């Protein structure tokens, strides 16, 4: 890949010729507001918030490739006016109850509106749309159409990351919205509930049903299957309140499946066994670990003596760590049996 020089706001930048203007600027610390662009996805150039002037012409910087000697202006009257109009048209139909929104202070629309500045009077004149019903049919995701800015990030995520294509743009003009096939509730669509759209939604249009903000996070590895995806467990009041993928993990690059992202309620479930139980007189009773281990050893020996070591077998779990599973097979083999299996098949 060849390197070229271009000029951004008077600064000479040296970048690879395969970059877009937005990538070249961002890599060199120049901020260009943008909304529908996400670095994990192919650029779409929908929102026009990232407009810049390149060699005297307005172009969306997220799609426009760099060129040798190109002169780029990221500000100025022409750019600011066009950009402000693009943002105002997005803000005008956006539900504006920011304080009650789970995305408050982490909202890309707030960020760009703050940067470009919007004219409140013009917004009042433009405001038109009726409130739309919220789709909360899904067990984990709430879709609020009143906050959607039609950036298409959720659509492209669904197409490009899990490759499910459960949602797309539908209807026309003011009625345009993101919907499932036949405009059915999300729960009735072919959505696989991976939550990748939720993670990338730049506004509050897609939010988790459990919106509790964790107090702190613990870096760990998902124990559902043999993949070993890197995750962060968000903890609040001593309980797991959220899971997010670790973007630095080479296994999953931050992506997760439905179990890894949403299947954490078992961790703190009251039905979960936390002490060993021993059946006495037909009833399970709580016991200490020493009591339980002694009983298991006795029973193993009984079986071994009566039927031979090969009559013992063990079934392990994908929810145990690799180390635990290693020790489990070691235990069975040391008892003289090779009959070890597990439930972690993908
Ligand atoms: Fe470039 Fe939306 S970020 S057009």
Q: How far is CA 35 from CA 102, 107, 251, in A?
A: 18, 10, 28
Residues 240 and 329 in one domain: no
Record the tokens describing residue 228, joined without a space. 């070993």
| Best probe residue, ligand 1, of 20, 38, 60 (max atoms within 8 Å of C-beta) | 60
Is the domain of 285 the same as that of 341? yes
% of the chain residues with pLDDT over 90? 79
Tell whether 95 and 11 lie within a shared domain: yes
| Res 161: pLDDT | 95
Section 284-293 average pLDDT:
96
Collapse the DSSP code of 16 into the 3-class scheme (helix H, G, I; strand E, B; otherwise coil) and give the result.
strand
- Same-domain pairing of 285 and 310: yes
Burial class (CB in 10 A: 0-12, 13-18, 19+), 222: buried
What would the mean pLDDT of 36-62 be, rounded to a whole number?
96
In the reported structure, the alpha carbon of residue 51 is separated from the centroid of ligand 1 by a whole-number distance in angstroms of 7
The answer to the question of residue 118 being in a domain is no
What distance in Å separates the CA atoms of residue 39 and residue 198, rounded to the nearest whole number? 15
pLDDT averaged over the chain?
92
For residue 118, is pLDDT > 90?
no
Q: Are residues 257 and 328 in the same domain?
A: no
pLDDT band at 345 (very low <50, low <70, confident <90, very high): low
Q: How many domains does the chain have?
A: 4
Residue 117, in any domain of the structure: no
Question: Do both 53 and 16 map to the same domain?
Answer: yes
| Mean pLDDT, range 311-321, rounded to an integer | 85
Query: Is 124 domain-assigned?
Result: no
Same domain, 20 and 88: yes
Burial class (CB in 10 A: 0-12, 13-18, 19+), 18: exposed
82 assigned to some structural domain = yes
Q: 245 and 195 share a domain? A: no
Residue 227 pLDDT: 83
Q: Is it the case that residue 346 has pLDDT exceeding 70?
A: no
106 in a structural domain: no
Question: How does residue 92 score in pLDDT terms, banded at 50, 70 and 90?
Answer: confident
Q: Is residue 44 part of a domain?
A: yes
For residue 96, the domain's CATH number is 3.10.20.740
In tens, the pLDDT along 254-274 reads 999 999 999 999 888 999 898
Nearest atom in ligand 1 to the alpha carbon of residue 43 is 1
Tell whether the model's pLDDT for residue 122 goes beyond 90.
Answer: no
191-234 tens-digit pLDDT = 999 999 999 999 999 999 987 889 999 999 998 877 889 999 99
Summarize the confidence of residues 158-181 as an average pLDDT: 94
Q: If you average pLDDT over residues 157-165, what whole number do you get? A: 96
pTM of the model: 0.84
Q: Is residue 75 part of a domain?
A: yes
Please report, rounded to a whole number, the percentage of residues in the chain having pLDDT higher than 70. Answer: 98
Cβ contact 61:41 at 8 Å: no
Mutation test of ligand 1: which of 24, 42, 49, 79 has the most ligand atoms closer than 8 Å to its C-beta? Answer: 49
pLDDT of residue 131: 83
Domain harbouring 181, CATH code:
3.30.70.20
Place 74 in a pLDDT band, splitting at 50, 70 and 90: very high
Alpha helices in 258-337 (DSSP H): 258-262, 289-307, 322-334
Domain containing residue 244: 216-268
Nearest CA to ligand 1 atom 4: 45
The better pLDDT of the pair 98, 21 is held by 21
Neighbouring C-beta atoms of residue 284, cutoff 10 Å: 11
Find out whether the beta carbon of 47 lies less than 6 Å from any atom of ligand 1.
yes
Question: Ligand 1 pocket, 34 CB below 6 A?
Answer: yes
Give yes or no: residues 143 and 190 share one domain: yes
């Amino acid at each position: 890949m060849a390197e070229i020089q271009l000029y951004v706001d008077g600064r000479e930048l040296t970048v690879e010729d395969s970059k877009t203007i937005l990538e070249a600027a961002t890599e060199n610390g120049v901020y260009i507001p943008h909304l529908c662009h996400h670095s994990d996805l192919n650029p779409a150039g929908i929102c026009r918030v990232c407009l810049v002037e390149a060699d005297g012409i307005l172009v969306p910087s997220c799609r426009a490739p760099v060129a040798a000697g190109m002169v780029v202006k990221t500000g100025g009257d022409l750019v600011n006016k066009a950009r402000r109009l693009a943002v105002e048209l997005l803000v005008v139909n956006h539900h504006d109850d920011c304080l009650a929104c789970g995305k408050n202070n982490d909202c890309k629309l707030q960020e760009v509106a703050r940067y470009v500045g919007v004219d409140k009077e013009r917004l009042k004149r433009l405001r038109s749309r009726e409130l739309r019903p919220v789709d909360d049919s899904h067990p984990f995701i709430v879709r609020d159409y009143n906050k959607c800015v039609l950036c298409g990030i959720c659509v492209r995520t669904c197409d490009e990351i899990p490759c499910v294509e459960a949602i797309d743009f539908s209807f026309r003009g003011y009625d345009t919205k993101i919907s499932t096939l036949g405009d059915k509730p999300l729960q009735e669509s072919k959505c696989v509930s991976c939550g990748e759209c939720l993670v990338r939604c730049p506004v509050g249009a897609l939010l988790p049903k459990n919106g509790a903000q964790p107090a702190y996070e613990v870096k760990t590895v998902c124990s559902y299957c043999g993949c070993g995806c890197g995750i962060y467990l968000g903890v609040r009041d001593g309980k797991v309140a959220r899971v997010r993928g670790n973007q630095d993990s080479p296994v999953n690059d931050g992506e997760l499946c439905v179990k890894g992202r949403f299947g954490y309620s078992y961790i703190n479930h009251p039905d979960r066994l936390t002490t060993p139980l021993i059946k006495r007189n037909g009833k399970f009773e709580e016991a200490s670990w020493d009591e339980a281990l002694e009983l298991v050893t006795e029973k193993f020996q009984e079986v071994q003596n009566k039927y031979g070591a090969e009559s013992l077998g063990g079934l392990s779990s994908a929810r145990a760590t690799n180390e635990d599973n290693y020790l489990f097979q070691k235990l069975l083999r040391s008892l003289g049996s090779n009959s070890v299996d597990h439930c972690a098949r993908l």
